[in-house]
Structure 1
Amino acid sequence: MEASNESPLRGRGAQSAAVPTRFGLATREADGDWRDHMEALDGPPVKLRTHVTEEHPRTILSFNQSPDIFFDRSINAYRGCEHGCVYCFARPTHAYHDLSPGLDFETRLFAKPNAAELLRATLAKSKYRPRPIAMGTNTDPYQPIERDYRITRQVLEVCLDARHPVTITTKSDRVLDDLDILSEMAERRLVAVAISVTSLDAKLSGKLEPRAASPAKRLSALHKLAEAGVPTHCSVAPVIPSITDEFMEEIVQRAAAIGVDSVGWIPLRLPHEVAPLFREWLSVHYPERGDKVMGIVRSIRNGKDNDPNFFSRLKPTGVWADLFRARFRVACKRAGLGKAKFELDCTQFRPPAVGGQLRLL
């Protein structure tokens, strides 16, 4: 892989806009809009800033029938993610909105301030049947803008009121802002929290996940959650060959030392526009090993950059995959950790009151 002549774009994961071709965006004709001439008139932007647009969808609960994941419903309070993880498999979703899965994904965000109101109305329907709601499956519910919007907290308040179980996945220690709610939900077996720890090198994480919490802060958050009685899971994800896999064993050891309930690992996935974005990132930060990294990635994905098929997308094959799997298994055995199954309780569910009504029971 050839080295890039470009200097790294500081503070962002993607190094370019990565215009998608799947929906014809790359060949879009200029329509006379001022944005088509903005750079020619004003010059390139001096600094990329984060812009947030509020949107008001009609529904907030998304259902899926994927046979290889543990949840059938989820909530995403935000679209796009300022954490800027270059490998994020959710990046291609921005292309559906005529936006770049590259820099737009981490700079042009969307917030759903009426999420809690929509959820309350959904849970109040007579035909609704509870099963755990997954949060953080697409974009991080505790990304930086949560500090101001507090949409995730509002959703958790509705779930606590309705006694509805929730699972949370995040890369942020901002989850501790809601420790009061999470602790109460944990006492009722209504919540489990997973935090992804990709490496133990803050400098490397700053390149991979430029606006996510440092590895030390994530481990500290796991410790505090565990101390508070919240079921916790440390996800070593994604494992990037020849970039982050060296930290696998030590992450497992540290997770065990702080009282985390379980650990797991997920291999790197590079769907659609994520593959060229990641290759570009390698050419900027690790040009000397880019070919090796992608060679191993293809070896565990049947000769391709990505395997989109159910089941196999989360279970890589080949010699390298077997090696990672064996290393992780040995590390868990030494640490005395396994993959716990969190049994959340759906029997306590009570439809929330809506429209200012009081509860009858």
Structure 2
Amino acid sequence: MEREILRLGWRTDKETRVVSAGDLRGFCRDCGSRRVFLVADARVMSLHSQAVLRGVGDRLLGTFVMEASEKLKTPRTLQALWSELHRAGVSRNDIVLAVGGGIVLDVGAFAASTWMRGVRLVLAPTTLLAQVDACLGGKTAVNVGGVRNQAGTFYPADLVWICAEILTTLPEREYRCGCGEILKTAILSGSAELQEIAGGLPLPGRERTEWSRRAASACLAFKAGIVEADPEEKSDRILLNLGHTLGHALESATGFGLNHGEAVSLGILASSIMARRLGAPAGFTEEVLSCLCGLGLPVRLPRRITGLSRFLRRDKKARPEGTTWILPFGWGDCRPTLLSPDAEGELVAGALEEIS
């Protein structure tokens, strides 16, 4: 069964439709006579190629299959994709369809935003993280010099097609990776429904599939309200960076040994400790810790991390006078907080010591 769960308008004549469905068959139903170039995750294609190709039908113009690795989310991969778009003869009237998790969606959307100065874009997220967060908002990016998301564009999709059933083949670690973004959204929103969802991950099966569907609908509805008002992160959209300032640095410093959801989860926990040291209620950190444990996410650093300061300085929110951190003082109470380099160093060191 298909249902439209939201429709997001932008400050241009573009809008994004988000559809929840039980399979992948309908994601090209509205393509008309337009041809489709497919950018796909290699593992997804090894498991679901028949379903994906059946959904595209005879519109298929070409295919670019890539491994979902942060180490491959680079300008070199983007260049290879541009070459394939050129070889396939993709025109302004055609569609780029990206099928995969956040890495594949980032690269596919970046290519769509720059090819012929922008072609139509359809996203079919196949990881929990992508379904609850990465598929909506229009951010595209590649990593440069081992630092996450240094180059990118704002380019929202025309259609996002969400199929919770496809998550049943997702490895457990990748599934739990998406739970970090669910907890982030629960803290930002203060929503009772999202707090209940973030309270624990059901065992695999029908209950988990319905839990995933609810999580995607609730998370995307909250995010849509923020990005529709602030599409290019000029004001309130910065709140969505909760856990990401330290999270991105941890990913880079570990050579992407920590995946995104794990790093963001540790970033959220560390940020709550930093907020506590600035006056937040002490009990809130314990609530965050309880949620992380219930979701099966890490609450301790896997090893001693070195070189974090270099990656923190590369953060997009860093300025000569300091960096704006999103610090959670409670459910629904997250505050942009400018920290001088000295204050940041002291607070981060103290937080890392607690989670080491």
User: TM-score of the superposition, structure 1-length normalised?
Assistant: 0.30
**Structure with more contact order per residue of length (Cα contacts < 8 Å, sep ≥ 6):** 1
Question: Relative to total residues, which structure has the larger strand share, 1 or 2?
Answer: 2
Structure with a larger share of its residues in helix: 2
